[in-house]
Amino acid sequence: MPVVSHPVTSIGPRDVPSPLGLSTGEDAEGPRYVPDDAFVLRTIEGRASSPLGVEALEKAGPRERIHFTPSRVRAAILTAGGLCPGINNVIRALVLELVYRYGVREVLGLPLGFAGLGPSARPPIALGPDEVRHIHTRGGTILGTSRGAQPVAGMVDALIARGVDVLFTIGGDGTLRGAHAIAAEIAERGAKIAVVAIPKTIDNDIPHVDKTFGFETAVSMARAAIDAAHTEATSALGGVGLVKTMGRDAGFIASLASVDVNVCLVPEVGFELHGPHGLLAHIERRLETRGHAVIVVAEGCGAILAGADPVRDPSGNMAYGADAVDIGRHLKSAIEKHLDGRRLPHSVKYIDPSYMIRGVAAGAIDSIFCADLARAAVHAAMAGKTDVMIGRLHRAFTHVPLPLALAERKRIDPRGELWLSVMESTGQPRLSTR
C-alpha cells in the first residue's frame, strides 16, 4: 500500500545524542525514541472500491539524535490571538521540558504576541521552573497577547539579535501564518532557528488535527450555559432560551454542546429566518406543541444573515464590529418581534458566555493534553524540525508542515456524521427552502 507522506523541514543534521536516555529498538523495555520513518495515517476509513494509497503525517515524539546541543540553546515563547483555556499550561510544560529534561540554558517569554518581536517590543521575560510553577491554575496567558502582524524581516532581526535558537508560537490560524512567514524568512537568510507552532483555537477549526487544546473545556462551559437556558425556558410560559457560542467559521462548540437543545445553528449550514420553512416558523410550532425552545447559535452565523463578505480583524479572522450582525442579539429581537406579531406569550432569555469560556483555566483533560502538546513541540524543536505545527490525529501526535496546515480550514461537513448526530439530537428540520 503506497503511503504519501508530507515531509517536514529540518534546519540541519542531527548528530547530537539526546539527553533523554530512552530505549531504542522494537524489543526494548520502557519508553522509546520515535524512529524517523514512523507515520500516522490521515484517515482510518476507506472504501473497497477506492484506489489504494494513503496520506500520512510524520509521527511526533523524542528523537534519539537531535540537532541542538541543549546547554547552548536559548528558546523563546510567544502567545498571540484570542484567549483560550490552557495557554498557561502549554507555557509551563514547554519550560519544564526544556529545562528539566533537555537542560537548555535559557527560556525567554516574548510579551504581547508578535509585538514582542516588533520595533516597540517590551523586554523579554525570563522563564524558569519557579516563574511557571503555578501558572497552570490560571486562565489567560502570563505573556499577554495581541492581534495583527509585524514586519517579518524585523521580527527575524530581533530573533537573531537576541540569540534565539528555537521559537515556539502558540496561537490560531493567524499565528500559524505568522510563524510560517518567520520560518520562510529564516530559511531565506540561511539562519539556524527552529520555528515550531502549537495550534490554539477555541473553535477547533485547525485542519489535520482531531482537536485543539481548550476545546473540551469550552464545550463543558457552553453546556453549563445551555443548561441554564434550558431551565429558564422550561420555567416560563412560552420560554425560549438562546445561547450564543464562539465559532467564527466553524460550529464545533455549538454542535457538541447541543445535547439538550432544540435548534442548533452553525456557519456551515445555511438557514432562513422567515417563511414556512424558516427558523421563526419552527420556533412558533415548537412553542405551540411543546411550550418551550432552546436554541444554540455559533457567532459566525451572523455572516449568513448579513449576506455579504464579513469584516476581518487584524489577524484575518471574522470581526464583529459595527458593520457586522451580532447574531445573538439579532435573533433575540427577531424571535420577540415574530411572537409579538402572532400574539403568542413568550419569554426570551439570551445568554452569551463567550468571554467566560475564553478566560477560564483548562479542565483536567485539556490540562493533560496541553502538556503532551508542549512536550511534543520541544522534541520537534530540539531535533531541528522547523516550519511545523504539532497536532494530534487519531490520538497520536504528529508533525504537520505549516504550509499544509494553512492550506485549508477544518469545518463541519453538513453531510457528515457530526451534523447528522446534531439533527437527530435536536430533531430540527432543514431551516431553509434551498
Residues designated as active site:
203
d(CA 202, CA 214): 6
Q: Rounded to 5 degrees, what are φ and ψ at 213?
A: -70, 150
Distance CA 261, CA 421 (A): 12
Residue (of 233, 237, 153) closest to 191 by Cα position: 153
In our burial notation (b when 16+ CB lie closer than 10 A, e otherwise), range 140-176 reads bbbbbbbbbbbebeebbebbeeeebbbbbbbbbbbbb
Contact by Cβ (8 Å): 65, 17:
yes
For residues 19 and 103, what is the distance between their CA atoms, to the nearest angstrom? 8
- Per DSSP, the three-state class of 330 is helix
Strands of 263-265's sheet, edge to edge? 263-265, 292-298, 239-245, 347-351
Cell numbers given for 61: 515524539
CA dihedral 275, 279, 284, 287 (to 10 degrees): 160
**Is the Cβ–Cβ distance between 13 and 385 less than 8 Å?**
no
Backbone angles phi, psi at 172, to 5 degrees: -85, -155
3-state SS, residue 74: strand
Contact at 8 Å (CB) between 404 and 6? Answer: yes
Ordered alpha helix ranges (H), 68-172: 87-96, 152-161
